[in-house]
Amino acid sequence: MAADTNETKIDENISEEELFDEAEKEAAKSPDVVEVELSRPVKYEGKDIKKLTFDYGRLTGADGIAIENELARMGINVFLPAASVDYIVRASARACEPKIGIDAFDLMSLKDFNKIRNKTRNFLMKSL
């Protein structure tokens, strides 16, 4: 019988203490904070941005209302925020560090844009 080639390899050079420390660091991270490494840096307001952090936990009801009001002024009605790319982009920008405007998303590769959009959509869906 052939050996299973899908077995997980264990790095014998990592101590049990290092594994524990790494697991502890992961557990300490808020599930509402997501870091996204961009596949291609974005030049925005004179800076090269390579990584963005989204702290969805800091979004408030006031943010949601402000986003819906902004979209309503543009003639866009939002029935389900998680299904509206206009809402998702604005929520992403508000949750982002470093601070960016919605115009930064126009500069991103489609791959990076979709990655961020999906992470924000997932957060919004979890909060239903």
pLDDT in tens, 40-99: 999 999 999 999 999 999 999 999 999 999 999 999 999 999 999 999 999 999 999 999
Q: Is the dihedral of CA 5, 27, 125, 100 positive or negative?
A: negative
**What's residue 69's pLDDT?**
98
Distance of CA 80 to the CA centre of its chain: 19
12 has a pLDDT exceeding 80: no
Q: Is 22 helix (H, G, I), strand (E, B) or coil?
A: helix
19 has a pLDDT exceeding 80: no
User: pLDDT higher for 4 or 99?
Assistant: 99
